[in-house]
Structure 1
Amino acid sequence: MAERIDDSYLPQRGLASKLNWLRAGVLGANDGIVSTAGLVVGVAAASSDTDTILTAGIAGISAGAISMAVGEYVSVSTQRDTEKALLAQERRELADDPRDELNELIAIYHAKGLSAKTARQVAEELTAYDAFTAHAEAELGIDPKELTNPWHAAFSSAISFTLGALLPLLAILLPPTAVRIPVTMVAVLLALALTGSISARVGGSSRARAVARVVLGGALAMAVTYVIGQAADVAGI
């Protein structure tokens, strides 16, 4: 009787990709928070006019979201084109010289620690099941079924940036003029602590270090733009 394998132990397909998207979303939101907070705090330090702050905030969010989307689209498209070219080359090599490709796969598994006999058996069975996928994953580290979509990346970045950017904009507009800057700074630093904690959890890194990094970076950005805004106000610019 053939041995039955419990498929519940198989890793979920696309899990790594989903985690990468989550991490990218958190980072996009973090960028939106920091860049917009720096902008509106700087403008608020120079002017108490709500319409001026709102206009600057909306302009900053629009420019930032578009920039994030375009940059992510270009980056992911370049990566995808490279992966597709490598996969096409691998497919040609399999068609031209399947025996040499089999020997290459055997050598890869042997180098990973399998005995020569086991490496050959594994390579032969994987080749019989799906030679192209086996070679793509072992040689290139690419899953042909999990190529990243540049449009998804662009929309995800734009949306996460926009959602993150709305927090400092609302925080600077809603409170009374006398307390709008300190309220914004507190709200932004709390939000950055949250995004830093989430990114650390997703990436499995130190939470304290990640939170300290983003909070200090956000505080520095707001401090710099506040000083610039104050200087502009004093100079009457």
Structure 2
Amino acid sequence: MADTPYEPYDVNFCYTAPPTLESDRVKLVPFIPSIHAKQLFDQCQQFPEIFTWLPFGPFTTLAGLEIGFIEDTIRKDDKRLLFAIFDKTKASAEYSGGAFAGAIAYINSSPAAFATEIGCVMILPPFQRTHVASNAVGILLKYALDLPSEGGLGLRRVFWQANKFNKPSVWLADRMGFHHEAILRWDRALSKGKDEAWNGKVVREGDPLPHSVGRDTTILSLCWDDWEAGRKGHVETVMNRVNSLIWTVLIIL
């Protein structure tokens, strides 16, 4: 499967959708189902644990992934833009940009608030504990927080939400310079099959959703004033480390 231009596919994003974003070692391109969906699906069949912390998946069919996730969850919501991640340091027979390493997204974007969230992070296990996660997150931070004169969107706030017990996710956000803001208790009612991600608290008798466990969410942020006060340099330093020990996020939302 070769690379093709992304323009014919309507990514439907509320901000300007770049054709590519990249660092020296990682490249992000808007996720196009006809180009990238089968690769993601095939990898997720090998590593279903990647969906442990996500509110969707795992998917048993390619159509389920394309419709249930990419179309209904991502493309129909203009606050979201999913990217395919490529590791430029590894050769690939399928893609000229490097080896397919997973996906990452902007979600919960708000032009009114000049804000966005980094989420839907799915780093494939062969690329975990490498430079891939730090570079993918760093690339999105730079595009979101750099001023338009520097090639960015000039947003004021980027936030990050993770299950309180998803320690690799929270650790990565810490590592990338995000500030802890709060723990949101009983933030979400989890769907069937997501019991591993529950908050450890039993719902009360008579609850309308007795079989739906709850989630507590850690929320973190990195804002424009943090960025200009030194966080940008910190992020670039983390991205450039050769032997990063960053624990890659399996799931973020």
> Which structure dedicates a bigger proportion of its chain to strand?
2
Q: Which has the larger radius of gyration?
A: 1
Q: What TM bracket, shorter-length normalisation?
A: under 0.3
> Which structure dedicates a bigger proportion of its chain to helix?
1
When normalised by structure 1's length, the TM-score is 0.24
Structure ranking higher on relative contact order (CA contacts 8 Å, 6+ apart): 1
